[in-house]
Structure 1
Amino acid sequence: MTALTPGPTRHDDTPDQHTEDHPYVIIGAGPAGLQLSYYLQQAGSDYITLERAAAPAEFFRHFPRHRRLISLNKVHTTSTDPEIRLRWDWNSLLHEPADLPFAKYSSEYFPHADDMVRYLTDFQRYHQLAVRFDTPVERIERTDDGGFLVHTPDSTLRCRCVIVATGWGRPNIPDIPGIEHATGYEDMHTDPAAYAGQRVLILGKGNSAFETASAILGHAAMIHLASPRPLRLAWNTKHPGDVRGHHGAVLDSYQFKTLHSVLDCVIDEIRPTDHGYRVHLTYTHADDETAVMDYESVLRCTGFAMDTTLFDTTCRPDMTPNGRMPTTTGDWQSTNIDGLYFAGTLAQARDFKRASSAFIDGFRYNLRTLTALLRERYEGVPLTHSRIARDADAATTLVLDRVNWSSALWTQFEFLCDALVADPDGHLRHYTDLPEDHIRDRFRDHPHYYTIGLRWGRDDYGDVFAIERHPQPHRAAESAFIHPVIRRYHGDTLVDELHLLEDLLAEWRRPDRHVTPLRDWFARELHRNR
């Protein structure tokens, strides 16, 4: 078990408070804050994590409201390799040895949120992470020397770097006249009997909306789920944050004409009446047809947003156009505040609705990489890499070993990649698990480097369950399933790329389909000047 880092240095600036110094201050002790704390502690870095609640995992003590997670817990797999098994374990934090897996807390495929609370609480205790509970952050301000002051009720912390891992801090409330009459997801009744016989309007068509609709499906007389944009199904988009298949009963009910419906519409106004609410709406795919509907309950299930009230005007981060999360650079740093970083769910803007950075199974790898980048910048520790011969056989072996084994490349498809950098001395430098945009920025002046990652293929098929396949290596770029893609760059210019044919079991080692095409490609590319 890792020992605690040395205690803080204190300066008695006032009779009531003290000031202490740490290079890193992490805000939030949810899964992202704990994972980053673990990595910094393992590296021997001086950090402190602040948590306003009395224990970890405050979010999961309240959400999801109906207490079932959408993160898979696939306990039984065909592999005994702990790294490969992580591909289907969406809840465990990374640690070595991996003797505290989430599977010890639940064997259910969709686990209960209370099991996540127990797991995260034990993870913090087991690793003795330096978390200060019951410590709300009141204000973050920038100092003249480029550092930060983090103010709490009992102390002020000086640091060079702030990492915000608070998760969602407030409901995302759409700008709809009368929205104050809707009951928020955070406040609604979770007993389905409360909606018996009612006509219910659910604002939103994401997982919280479908979670709610699924819970009351057998009780409400009529359920309408409404938002302006069409429904996004996870089996089409490959994104786990879109609507998952286990909510299919709601869609069945819609298609089988039970009065439950999924509406693409703009809500123009919500008005209270003597018996409930009258809602004016305009359909988005029906030549602006309007309607007026009556409901007994209107439920707001429109997601969450980051709470920005803790930022002083000296360090308020730029936000994405929807205002829900911060914009970040290739190292998860604020685009406008140097030294302000984001971790976990808040740091998903760059791969929004693509990879899994919004979820534990994705950001646990991001945070491993972030730790390395922070230590490189603030502690002068070079980014780790290995070296192999600039040789087609060596490169082929390395690439196939990585894509067949790495859980980071598998989970963070189309986002995290490995890099192979060709040096004039006849070697290749190998870096692992870096965001592709960071790789391109880091090596933008280098004439010859590669990215290795896993990607989904074409999406022009009509039925996701009836895809026409082409199992010839020269047509690998037409693969629909996840498969390896190797790209060669000259500076910031994509020179060439190779797709390796998809495989049902995600095993890319067949001589004719994978090994020979990759070796032949490297034999050609490695010795070109451009």
Structure 2
Amino acid sequence: MTEIHPVLGRHRYLIVGAGPAGLQLSYYLQQRGCDYLTLEREAAPAAFFRHFPRHRRLISINKVHTTSTDPEIRLRWDWNSLLHEPADLPFPKYSGEYFPHADDLVRYLEDFTAHHQLRVRYDTGVTRVERDGDGFLVYTDQGTYAADCLVMATGWQRPNVPQIKGIEHVTGYESMETDPAHYANQRVLILGKGNSAFETASSMLGHAAMIHLASPRPLRLSWNTKHPGDVRGHHGAVLDSYQFKTLHSVLDCTIDEIVPLENGNLEVHLTYTHADGETAVMEYESVLRCTGFAMDTSVFGDDCRPDLVPSGRMPTTRPDWQSTNVDGLYFAGTLAQDRDFKKASSAFIDGFRYNLRTLTALLVERYEQTPLPHDTTKADPATLTDLVLDRVNWSSALWTQFEFLVDALVVDAATGQVRHYVDLPEDYAVARFADEPHFYTFGLRWGRDEYGDVFAIERHPQPDRAAESAFIHPVVRRYHGTTRVEELHLLEDLLAEWRRPERHVNPLRDFFTAQLPHA
């Protein structure tokens, strides 16, 4: 049983972790005048980014120069700024580099915390979490806190270590040598094919004699998947070296065993995935584990330990980012990505900053009885057409969180009015308005999945073939309860400006003209 300590403070909301997600949520709760406290085990914010990525270049872009002066539009290509109003502290003030240095993000997050005087208690590590009625007791090395609502914004807490015999003999990404000269003339095996693996391979490309990247499944290229967490194009030199037969290779295989040798090298036994069970034994001077990170649930008591996805890397969440099995326990930031895993950008700042703005609205609705905000407009085809096009041409949330966040238009046939809600996860919107006979969602989506060569896509610029658009484009869906009854795609546009009368305005107005009488 946990030792009983006096409660140092009771708060409506406790946030654990002062990384970018914890700071963003702290900002929004503070703006709402909420009773919150953020706990951070380190002496300063942004602890993760003080050590990771190991080679200190972020994969989140920082496009400083755009054709727009509108701060909202510029956020589409600023993947590191936290949201705040007025937007007087944008990340591009800290770096002009397209792929910025991680130290610049640390400086930015420190200044964001100080600028907004966020209530963060440092040097306060959480040691235990237990249920306390409908709320929680959070034990720390400085004392105990009580909360009605607990939000875990801790980010990744431990390495994800695959179950491989002999894995204890390899060096983890978190502790490996980053000086490429260390690997000069070595044969190096990198376990994993994500961005940390390619970051590591890229760093030593001109030094190592042979680099192999290995995992059971083929690598996923971001230009095919449209997911920023998959392998990015700036690591293309590694793939070039593979295709041009330089002894650097990308292997689809399972690692069966890793055996230390007397000479200090490691012998790796593997089975190829696509080669009729062919096996091989390879010798390497260095084997590096770059297989990502996972959540650590050891601080949770049995009465409030969250369920995890099958891989065990992250919690399962409801559409409102609440634990599927622990009421009142929410997740923020990279931990809260299972609902759009490998689809939108909820694992990254440019995605979860919008999720957290919405989460704040859901929390204050639940705990402060403040209704979810919405605007009201006329159920008129021309009015709704203008509303939808204004939003998709302007919103950075819909742009970045494509295929995840949507706006909802709920039609009240009796009054001829429409309630307009913004930036809701679509599955949440459909569940929330399940009793409504007539409502719409709209957002931005990519086109078909079967691209073939993504640089040689056949386009069809006819409005009646807009559903075949390959580039990001607006999609409007009409629902009757939870049943989707109609869907309209609007044609893609090179400049992402959906304003053309014949391609966008007229088809959308015609759609609403046909659909609204059914309300």
- Which segments of structure 1 move beyond 6 Å, counting only runs of 4 or more? none
Residue of 297, 306, 319 corresponding to 2:308: 319
Cα distance in structure 2, aligned partners of 1:24 and 1:526: 42
Q: Give the structure 2 partner of residue 456 of structure 1.
A: 446
Deviation at 1:369, TM superposition (A): 0.1
For residues 236 and 141 of structure 2, the distance between their equivalents in structure 1, rounded to whole angstroms, comes to 48
1:215 maps to 2:171: no
Q: Would you say 1:443 and 2:433 are equivalent positions?
A: yes
For 2:56, the equivalent position in structure 1 comes to 67
How many Å apart are 1:78 and its aligned residue? 0.7
Query: Using the alignment, how far apart are the partners of 1:237 and 1:88 within structure 2?
Result: 18
Counting only pairs closer than 5 Å after superposition, residues 43-58 of structure 1 correspond to structure 2 as 43-58=32-47
* C-alpha displacement of 1:139: 0.7
Give the corresponding residue for 1:514: 504
Deviations 1:185-224 (A, max 9, x none): 0010000011000000000000000000000010000000
Q: CA deviation at 1:274?
A: 2.1
| In 2, Cα distance between equivalents of 1:211 and 1:132 | 34
Q: Which residue of 2 is the match for residue 274 of structure 1? A: 262
CA distance in 1, matches of 2:326, 2:477: 32
Residue 30 of structure 2: SS of its match in structure 1? helix
Shift of 1:153: 2.0
Q: Which residue of 1 aligns with 2:218?
A: 230
Q: Which residue identity lines up with residue 523 of structure 1 in the other structure?
A: T
Q: Hey, what's the Cα distance between the residues in 2 that align with 1:310 and 1:484?
A: 43
Distance 2:272 2:31 in 1: 54
Kindly indicate whether the alpha-carbon contact (under 8 Å) linking 1:169 and 1:304 is maintained by their aligned counterparts in 2.
yes
Q: Secondary structure at the match of 1:437?
A: helix
Q: Indicate which of 74, 82, 86 corresponds to 1:93.
A: 82
Are 1:245 and 2:233 counterparts?
yes
Distance across 2 between alignment mates of 1:514 and 1:101: 33
Structure 1, gaps ≥5 residues long: 1-12
Given that residues 18 and 154 in structure 1 are in contact (C-alpha distance below 8 angstroms), is that contact kept between their aligned partners in structure 2?
no
Identical-residue share of aligned pairs (%) = 76
Aligned equivalent of 1:178, options 166, 181, 197? 166
- Following superposition, the deviation at residue 461 of structure 1 comes to 2.0
The answer as to 2:249 corresponding to 1:261 is yes
Mapped to 2, the partners of 1:232 and 1:152 lie a distance apart of: 40
State the secondary structure of the residue aligned to 1:22. Answer: strand
Quote the residue 1:409 is aligned against. 398
Give 1:342's match in structure 2, choosing from 326, 331, 342. 331
Query: Counterpart amino acid of 1:241?
Result: G
Aligned to 1:9: none
| Alignment correspondent of 1:195 | 183
C-alpha contact (below 8 Å) 1:387/1:427 kept by paired residues = yes
Any idea what the Cα deviations from partners look like across 1:408-461, whole Å, max 9, x if unmatched? 000000000000000121001000000000001101111110001100001212
Q: Match for 1:157: what amino acid?
A: Y
SS of the equivalent of 2:303 reads helix
Deviation at 1:154, TM superposition (A): 2.3
Which AA in structure 2 matches 1:420?
A: L
Secondary structure (helix, strand or coil) at the match of 1:23 reads strand
Q: Which residue of 1 aligns with 2:354?
A: 365
Instruction: Determine if the alignment matches structure 1 residue 378 to structure 2 residue 331.
Output: no
Amino acid at match of 1:435: P
Q: How many angstroms apart in 2 are the aligned matches of 1:182 and 1:303?
A: 14
- Report the CA distance between 1:18 and its aligned residue: 4.0
Q: Determine the structure 2 residue equivalent to 1:4.
A: none
Q: Cα deviation per residue 1:233-284 (whole Å; 9 max; x = unaligned)?
A: 0000000000000000000000000000000000000001123011010000
The alignment status of 1:528 with 2:511, answered yes or no, reads no
Q: Aligned partners of 2:58, 2:252: CA distance in 1, in Å?
A: 26
> CA-to-partner distance for each residue in 1:322-349, whole Å, 9 max, x for gaps?
0000000010000000000000000000
Q: Which amino acid aligns with 1:207?
A: N
* Partners of 2:357 and 2:321 in 1: CA distance: 12
Report the 3-state secondary structure (helix = DSSP H, G, I; strand = E; otherwise coil) of the residue aligned with 1:527. helix
Structure 2, unpaired ranges of 5+: none
Alignment of 1:502 onto 2:495: no
Q: TM-score, normalised by structure 1?
A: 0.96
Tell me how far apart the structure 2 counterparts of residues 416 and 351 of structure 1 sit (CA, whole Å).
10
How far apart, in 2, do the equivalents of 1:253 and 1:154 lie? 52
The separation in 1 between residues aligned to 2:82 and 2:348, in whole angstroms, is 11
- Residue type matched to 1:188 in 2? M
Answer yes or no: is the 8 Å Cα contact 1:197–1:219 preserved in 2: yes
Secondary structure at the aligned position of 1:331 is classed as coil
Give the distance between the partners of 1:18 and 1:35, measured in 2 at CA. Answer: 26
Q: Distance in 2 between matches of 1:178 and 1:527?
A: 67
User: CA separation in 2, counterparts of 1:274 and 1:211?
Assistant: 30
How large is the Cα RMSD of the aligned pairs? 0.9
Q: Secondary structure at the match of 2:38?
A: strand
C-alpha distance in 2 between matches for 1:218 and 1:449: 57
Matched, 1:433 2:399: no
Q: Distance between the aligned counterparts of 2:515 and 2:451, measured in 1?
A: 32
Q: Say if 1:17 and 1:154, in contact at 8 Å, map to a contact too.
A: no
Which residue of 422, 442, 446 corresponds with 2:411? 422
Q: How does 1:2-151 map to 2 (within 5 A)?
A: 17-143=6-132, 145-151=133-139
CA shift for structure 1 position 152: 1.2
The aligned length equals 515
Q: CA deviation at 1:477?
A: 0.1
Deviation at 1:158, TM superposition (A): 1.2
- SS for the counterpart of 2:447 is coil
What TM-score results when the alignment is normalised by the length of structure 2? 0.98
The corresponding residue for 2:477 is 487
Kindly indicate whether the alpha-carbon contact (under 8 Å) linking 1:362 and 1:408 is maintained by their aligned counterparts in 2.
yes
SS of the residue corresponding to residue 138 of structure 1 reads strand
Q: Distance in 2 between matches of 1:182 and 1:188?
A: 10
2-structure distance, mates of 1:370, 1:111? 28
